[in-house]
């Protein structure tokens, strides 16, 4: 979200799910929406089928949305910046830009125009593998729309140039003025149910709740007063991200890790490295609802409550805060997470006195301007979209309607950088990871449903039939997929969904832990790992290995570097 925070001043979806049908062009890129955000995708399909919108799909894979696309550009994975820059070049060169919007609402246009001079579509065509005239057609389609809306997800951000990708998309919206109205905007689709909320609440190394920087003395003073602690007890140093924490253990800076509701031993890149860190850390606490791969390495495991056993709120991708209500008591002695954290704080010399989550929400809202007008009492009657500054405020479905959060929208020239790891003779395929419809993330929840497990029981590696033929692989074969960091077994699925030279796998299966393969190279600003591009090789699994995998339920293979 660092990209939008720079260009607009606010890193969140600008528009709402409801107004998708008011767009006449939808630009969807790096989002397999029908599988990862299925109900939102229904709204996109409705826009196309019922309201006549044109879908411009920019994605290397022939995903289900391709059936609905007016134009589908299949760029080589990791070359997005080159493509978006060339579209911006074409918009300026053909005078399709919204000059009035640029003059009134933006800054930095001259610098952008100069930088884009180097990006004619013909140059991008060589890098991306997309024909120059298709790039120009895409630029025209988006620019000439009455209302054009851009949607993206992890396919854009999970790159070492993820922040640049977002800035390049932001440039397109600012050039055309497709922002601040229904059916327009820059719309990052957030993955987890409450990833927007976890960010809003300051579950980030550099900001307090409401994105107030920890480096600001005013913010530190405000939170110290709100929390009743001395100013100097709050650290002014930006903390360590997940990936940095693992390195911090290995170089002796981090000695204890407390994990609430996450499973880095499945979800983080380069798992062998994570395992080494979590095995060697002095003290590891895991608080969760299930035993998982991370808990195995813990010193203490604390049993927590599931969403069906707690009161609270989730904030959705469209900034909508909605109630979570309990249906059951937690099983056995399991407790709600807020109760556990409160007990620990009080054992460490504090005096927290919360009777219920509504009181925690009220304390948070008093310190968080975007949530200031919300309360559990108000949310009981329906969700509210932030910013909602006062108890009378109706919430904000569309951001930046008259001005941007930062004032003027900022054009940010970006240049193409290749992915951290490129293919070579030994590792000739590009591996991208992602989701499928029937499972979720590490599979903790969805794989415990017999119905979902029956539909999608085991990990598949999607590969183009031509590539498979060269490797003498047929559909359903057991294959070994290996990178420089590890190897896994999966069944081959031959499909034209994958472009030639690319392999797609999901990270839903613990026994085929695809993050053994992924690279822990990260975007320098957002620190997001490059899950969408790493170099791998694929081989038909030797008979003995395949037979043993089939009988034992596909045991995980690891390789020590």
Partner 1 sequence: MLTPDRTVHTTCPYCGVGCQIDLHIKNEMVYRVDGRFDNDVNNGKLCVKGRFGYDFIHAPDRLTHPLIKNDQVAEDRPLTMSPAHPVTLSGFAPTSWETALDTVAVRLRETREKYGPDSIAILTSAKCTNEENYLLQKFARAVIGTNNIDHCARL
- Per CB under 8 A, which of residues 276..305 are in contact with partner 1? 282-283, 285, 288-293, 295-296, 298-304
Site membership for partner 1, residue 527 (CB under 8 A): yes
Site membership for partner 1, residue 417 (CB under 8 A): no
Select from 72, 439, 532, 537 the one that contacts partner 1 (CB under 8 A).
Answer: 439
Enumerate residues 246-275 that contact partner 1 by CB under 8 A: 248, 253-262, 264, 267-268
**How far is 149 from 182, CA to CA, in rounded Å?**
9
Handedness of CA 409, 207, 364, 225 (dihedral sign): negative
Enumerate residues 367-406 that contact partner 1 by CB under 8 A: 382-383
Site membership for partner 1, residue 516 (CB under 8 A): no
501: left (phi over 0), alpha (psi -120 to 50) or beta: left
- Tokens at residue 317, please? 């991708």
- Tokens at residue 369, please? 């301007």
- Decide if 365 contacts 372 (C-beta within 8 A): yes
Nearest distance from residue 220's CB to partner 1, in Å? Answer: 9
Nearest distance from residue 355's CB to partner 1, in Å? Answer: 12
Nearest distance from residue 99's CB to partner 1, in Å? Answer: 34
Omega within 30 of 0 (cis) for the link into 221:
no
Q: What residue ranges in 356-438 does DSSP mark as E strands?
A: 384-385, 409-410, 429-434
Select from 109, 223, 411, 478 the one that contacts partner 1 (CB under 8 A).
Answer: 223
Site membership for partner 1, residue 550 (CB under 8 A): no
Handedness of CA 496, 497, 499, 501 (dihedral sign): negative
Q: How does DSSP assign 333-373, residue by residue? A: T-B-HHHHHHHHHHHTT-----SSHHHHHHHHHHH-GGGTT
Nearest distance from residue 508's CB to partner 1, in Å? Answer: 10
Nearest distance from residue 21's CB to partner 1, in Å? Answer: 11
**How far is 561 from 557, CA to CA, in rounded Å?**
13
State how beta strands 69-73 and 54-58 pair: parallel
- Angle between helical axes of 121-128 and 132-143 (0-180°, round to 10): 120
Q: How does DSSP assign 255-323, residue by residue? A: -EEEEES--HHHHSSSHHHHHHHHHHSSEEEEEESS--TTGGG-SEEEEB--GGG--EEEE-TTSEEEE
Nearest distance from residue 488's CB to partner 1, in Å? Answer: 14
Site membership for partner 1, residue 517 (CB under 8 A): no
**How far is 295 from 218, CA to CA, in rounded Å?**
39
**How far is 339 from 315, CA to CA, in rounded Å?**
21
- Decide if 193 contacts 445 (C-beta within 8 A): no
CB-based contacts of 70: which residues, under 8 Å, 6+ apart?
54, 55, 56, 141
- Decide if 112 contacts 411 (C-beta within 8 A): yes
Nearest distance from residue 276's CB to partner 1, in Å? Answer: 16
Which is nearer to partner 1, 67 or 359 (by Cβ)? Answer: 359
Which is nearer to partner 1, 78 or 409 (by Cβ)? Answer: 78
Angle (nearest 5°) at CA 305 between 299 and 310: 150
- Only one of the segments 49-57, 134-142, 207-215, 399-407 lies at the binding site for partner 1 (rule: CB under 8 A); that segment is 207-215
Q: How many residues line the site for partner 1 (CB under 8 A)?
A: 151
Which is nearer to partner 1, 190 or 464 (by Cβ)? Answer: 190
- Only one of the segments 50-58, 130-138, 442-450, 496-504 lies at the binding site for partner 1 (rule: CB under 8 A); that segment is 442-450
Select from 120, 129, 191, 428 the one that contacts partner 1 (CB under 8 A).
Answer: 191
Which is nearer to partner 1, 411 or 507 (by Cβ)? Answer: 507
Enumerate residues 230-249 that contact partner 1 by CB under 8 A: 233-235, 237-243, 245, 248
Select from 5, 143, 364, 519 the one that contacts partner 1 (CB under 8 A).
Answer: 364
Which is nearer to partner 1, 131 or 325 (by Cβ)? Answer: 325
Site membership for partner 1, residue 445 (CB under 8 A): yes
Which is nearer to partner 1, 237 or 390 (by Cβ)? Answer: 237
- Only one of the segments 104-112, 198-206, 474-482, 497-505 lies at the binding site for partner 1 (rule: CB under 8 A); that segment is 198-206
x/- mask, partner 1, residues 148-167, rule CB under 8 A, reads ---------xx---------
Site membership for partner 1, residue 355 (CB under 8 A): no
x/- mask, partner 1, residues 447-486, rule CB under 8 A, reads xxxxxxx-x-------------------------------
Enumerate residues 321-350 that contact partner 1 by CB under 8 A: 321-328, 331-338, 340-345, 347-350
Site membership for partner 1, residue 428 (CB under 8 A): no
- Decide if 341 contacts 359 (C-beta within 8 A): no
Site membership for partner 1, residue 196 (CB under 8 A): yes
């Amino acid at each position: 979200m660092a990209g939008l925070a720079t260009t607009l001043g606010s890193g969140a979806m600008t528009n709402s799910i409801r107004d998708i049908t008011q767009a006449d062009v939808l630009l969807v890129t790096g989002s397999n929406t029908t599988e990862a955000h299925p109900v939102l995708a229904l709204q996109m399909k409705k826009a196309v089928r019922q309201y006549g919108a044109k879908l411009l799909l920019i994605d290397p894979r022939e995903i289900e949305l391709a059936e609905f696309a007016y134009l589908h550009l299949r760029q080589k994975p990791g070359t997005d910046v080159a493509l978006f820059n060339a579209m911006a070049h074409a918009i300026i060169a053909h005078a399709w830009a919204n000059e009035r919007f640029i003059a009134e609402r933006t800054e930095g246009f001259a610098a952008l125009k100069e930088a884009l001079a180097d990006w004619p579509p013909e140059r991008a065509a060589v890098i991306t593998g997309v024909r120059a005239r298709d790039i120009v057609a895409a630029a025209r389609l988006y620019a000439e729309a009455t209302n054009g809306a851009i949607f993206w997800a992890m396919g854009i951000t999970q790159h070492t140039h993820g922040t640049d990708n977002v800035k390049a998309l932001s440039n397109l919206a600012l050039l055309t003025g497709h922002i601040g109205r229904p059916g327009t905007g820059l719309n990052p689709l957030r993955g987890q149910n409450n990833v927007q909320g976890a960010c809003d609440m300051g579950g980030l190394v550099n900001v307090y709740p409401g994105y107030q920087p920890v480096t600001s003395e005013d913010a530190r003073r405000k939170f110290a007063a709100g929390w009743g602690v001395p100013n100097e007890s709050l650290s002014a140093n930006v903390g360590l991200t997940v990936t940095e924490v693992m390195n911090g253990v290995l170089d002796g800076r981090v000695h204890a890790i407390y994990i609430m509701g996450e499973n880095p031993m499945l979800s983080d890149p380069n798992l062998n490295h994570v395992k080494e860190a979590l095995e060697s850390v002095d003290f590891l606490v895991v608080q969760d609802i299930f035993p998982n791969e991370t808990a195995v390495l813990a010193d203490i495991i604390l049993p927590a409550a599931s969403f069906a056993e707690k009161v609270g709120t989730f904030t959705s991708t469209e900034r909508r805060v909605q109630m979570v209500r309990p249906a059951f008591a937690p099983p056995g002695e399991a407790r709600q997470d807020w109760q556990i954290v409160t007990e620990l704080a009080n054992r460490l010399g504090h005096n927290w006195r919360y009777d219920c989550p509504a009181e925690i929400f009220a304390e948070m809202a008093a310190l968080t301007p975007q949530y200031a007008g919300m309360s559990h009492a108000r949310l009981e009657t329906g969700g509210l979209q932030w910013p909602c500054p006062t108890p009378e405020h109706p919430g904000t479905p569309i951001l930046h309607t008259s001005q941007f959060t930062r004032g003027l929208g900022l054009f940010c020239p970006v240049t193409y950088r290749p992915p951290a790891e490129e293919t070579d003779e030994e590792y000739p395929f590009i591996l991208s990871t992602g989701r499928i419809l029937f499972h979720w993330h590490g599979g903790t929840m969805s794989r415990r449903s017999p119905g979902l497990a029956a539909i999608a029981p085991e990990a598949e590696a999607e590969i183009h039939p031509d590539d498979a033929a060269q490797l003498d692989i047929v559909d359903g074969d057991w294959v070994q997929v290996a990178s420089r960091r590890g190897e896994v077994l999966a069944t081959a699925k031959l499909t034209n969904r994958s472009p030639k030279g690319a392999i797609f796998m999901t990270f839903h299966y613990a026994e085929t832990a695809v993050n053994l393969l992924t690279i822990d190279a990260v975007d320098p600003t957002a620190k997001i790992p490059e899950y969408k591009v790493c170099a791998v090789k694929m081989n038909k699994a030797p008979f003995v290995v395949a037979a043993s995998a089939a009988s034992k339920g596909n045991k995980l293979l690891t390789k020590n570097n």
